[in-house]
Amino acid sequence: MKMKQKKNNRTLKVVFLSIAGFVLVFSIISMVVIRIIYDKQFPRYDRYDETVTSYLRYSDVELDYPRKIVSFKSGENKLQGYVYGMEQDMGLVVIAHGLGGGADSYLPHITYFVDKGWRVFAYDATGSFDSEGKSTKGFPQALIDLDAALQYISMQDEYNDLPIMLFGHSWGGYAVANALHYDHEISGIVSISGVNSPMEIILEQGKHMMGGFVYTQYPFLWLNQRILFSKVASLNAVDAINQSDVPVLIIHGTEDDLVDYNGSSIISKLDEITNSKVRAISINEPGKNGHTNVYISDEAVDYINEINILYKELYDSYEGKIPYEVNQEFYSGIDRSLAHDLDPELMNEINTFFLECLN
């Protein structure tokens, strides 16, 4: 009987050690793989070649919109900022850009706000365009950089009497909403295509890549972000908005293919928001209800469709290998202002919202 009990104990011990060993190996492999995949999702984004892009370039508008270049630190990295409408004192609109771009990616919005009488402060986030950083690091970095920008602004006498409005899209949309976790004097916020929390968007994107298996990686995804960003990784927009009475306008496209309207988006959490000064706009018009086209005009939508047809013909004619010089010639003929013409109704609604925040 004792021999049998000893044998059972040995068997249980072997099973326990086997399970423990499997869990240990699985955990180590998972952490290594998660870190590799995670880092690949947040590379550095240098300034694009301006001769082969349809984006509006600063050289296209610099005569009418002079700017001052400034710099400030975010952690160990020096970030580059840009101030427009230097003499205007109605208020300061701080623009937080999306992942993969930089401040100049939002030149149509910058020039719109300047035309409406606002001073504008935009900046290239960590690992983006003319700012330092080997990578963009992760979603929480957008919030860390915005906090650094607002700290810099608070220390400059020229901004002391200016009400501060925040405007952000995507990565920046997440940042401006979550900025309410910090002790900054903010008068109003517009968040477009914004994410509620880093973990939600990571799981959402991870599910596209790995299916349901991604949920087995949750502990490692969470740990990786905590290691990189400490408690900032756990902050979410709903909590930030609810602990404040700052007016917030949330805008999202119903067919957003990057930040799911019914998933990781802030707009999907409206029933959890208790701040009475929150408003939301759902964009459901075809051709304008996605992630990056949510704020463009009908004319821009039609023009972009025309450009895409022409480019597809060019692409097919060269069997996918368009010579660089041919590409340059094609893009030189694009009307960049029209391609990024903003929806006047939506932008005027945003401007009216900011004006109401002044009262």
313, burial (CB in 10 Å: exposed 0-12, middle 13-18, buried 19+): exposed
pLDDT of residue 32: 66
Would you kindly state where each structural domain of the chain is located, as residue ranges? Answer: 60-197+235-295, 297-341
Backbone angles phi, psi at 75, to 5 degrees: 65, -130
Helices assigned H by DSSP within the chain:
2-41, 58-61, 107-115, 139-154, 171-178, 198-210, 218-229, 237-242, 298-317, 324-332, 336-339, 344-357
Rounded alpha-carbon distances, angstroms, from residue 48 to 60, 128, 191, 199, 227: 15, 11, 25, 29, 31
pLDDT of residue 30: 57
Q: How far apart are CA 103 and CA 122, in angstroms?
A: 6
Q: How far apart are CA 328 and CA 204, in angstroms?
A: 37
Backbone angles phi, psi at 165, to 5 degrees: -110, 140
pTM across the whole model: 0.91
**Sign of CA pseudo-dihedral 284, 287, 290, 291:** negative
Amino acid present at 2: K
DSSP 54: -
SS3 call for 168? strand
Inter-residue contact 190 to 346 (CB < 8 Å):
no
What is the dotted CATH code of the domain comprising 60-197+235-295? Answer: 3.40.50.1820
Q: Would you state the structure tokens that stand for residue 96, as one six-digit string?
A: 């937080």
Cβ-proximal residues to 87 (8 Å cutoff; 6+ apart), any chain: none
Inter-residue contact 47 to 129 (CB < 8 Å):
yes
pLDDT of residue 34: 66
Q: How far apart are CA 123 and CA 294, in angstroms?
A: 22
Q: How far apart are CA 3 and CA 25, in angstroms?
A: 33
Inter-residue contact 61 to 108 (CB < 8 Å):
no
- How many residues comprise the chain? 359
**Sign of CA pseudo-dihedral 64, 65, 68, 71:** negative
Inter-residue contact 275 to 177 (CB < 8 Å):
no
pLDDT in tens, the chain (359 residues): 555 565 556 666 666 656 656 555 555 665 566 677 777 889 999 999 999 999 999 999 999 999 999 999 999 999 999 999 999 999 999 999 999 999 999 999 999 999 999 999 999 999 999 999 999 999 999 999 999 999 999 999 999 889 999 999 999 999 999 999 999 999 999 999 999 999 999 889 878 776 776 767 777 778 888 888 999 999 999 999 999 999 999 999 999 999 999 999 999 999 999 999 999 999 999 989 999 999 999 999 999 999 999 999 999 999 989 999 999 999 999 999 999 999 999 999 999 999 999 98
